[in-house]
Structure 1
Amino acid sequence: MKFERDVSPGDWRDPAKERRLYARARTELGEVVLHRARARRGGEAQWDGWEEWTISLEGEEILVLHDMASPGVAARRRVQKTVHGSFAGTCMNLSGRHSPLSSGRSVVFATETGTIRFRTHRFSAQALSPQGEVVAERRSGDWGGVRAEVNVVAAVCVFEWGGLDGFLESPLLQFI
Structure 2
Amino acid sequence: MELHHSGRPRDWLNPVKTRQASAEVDTPLGAVRIHRRHSGDLTPFGGYLERWTFSLDGSDVLSVDGMSSPGYPARGRIRRGLGLELLGQSGRLCGSRPLRPSRRHVTLSAGETLRRARPAWPGLVVVDGGGTPRIRFDGARWSFTAPEETDVAFAALFVAARLDPFMTSPLLEIL
Task: Give the TM-score taking structure 2 as reference length.
Answer: 0.91
Distance 1:32 1:20 in 2: 16
1: CA distance between counterparts of 2:2 and 2:71?
19
CA contact (8 A) 1:116 1:130 kept: yes
Paired letter, 2:4 = E
1:100-126 deviation line (CA, Å, top 9, x unaligned): 110011000111121100011111111
Q: Distance in 2 between matches of 1:160 and 1:171?
A: 19
- Counterpart Cα distance in 2 of 1:21 and 1:51: 10
Give 3-state SS (helix, strand or coil) of 1:12's partner: helix
Q: Which runs of 4+ in 1 moved over 4 A?
A: none
CA 1:121–1:158 in structure 2 vs 1: closer, same or farther (change >3 Å)? same
Contact 1:146 1:153 in 2 (8 A): no
Matches within 5 A, 1:17-166: 17-18=17-18, 20-39=20-39, 41-42=40-41, 48-145=47-144, 147-166=146-165
**Which one is further off, 10-19 or 30-39?**
10-19
Q: Percent of aligned positions with the same letter in both sequences?
A: 28
Alpha-carbon distance between aligned partners in 1 of 2:164 and 2:64, rounded to the nearest angstrom = 18
CA distance in 2, matches of 1:146, 1:51: 31
Distance 1:174 1:3, change over 3 A: closer
**Deviation at residue 131 of structure 1 after TM alignment:** 1.2
Aligned pairs, number: 175
Unaligned stretches of 5+ in structure 1?
none
The normalised TM-score by structure 1 is 0.90
Counterpart of 1:85 in structure 2: which amino acid?
Answer: L
Whether 1:11 and 2:11 are equivalent positions in the alignment is yes
Give the whole-Å Cα distance in 2 for the aligned partners of 1:37 and 1:103. 34
Query: Partners in 2 of 1:87 and 1:163 — Cα distance?
Result: 20
Q: In the alignment, which residue of structure 2 is the partner of 1:168? A: 167
Q: Distance in 2 between matches of 1:38 and 1:103?
A: 35
Q: Distance in 1 between matches of 2:62 and 2:137?
A: 22
Deviation at 1:7, TM superposition (A): 2.7
What is the root-mean-square deviation of aligned Cα atoms in Å? 2.0
In structure 2, runs of 5+ residues without a counterpart are none
Partners of 1:147 and 1:153 within 8 A in 2: no
Question: Cα offset for 1:6?
Answer: 2.3
Q: Match for 2:10: what amino acid? A: G
How big is the shift at 1:146? Answer: 5.2
Q: CA deviation at 1:60?
A: 0.7
Larger mean CA deviation between 102-111 and 145-154 belongs to 145-154
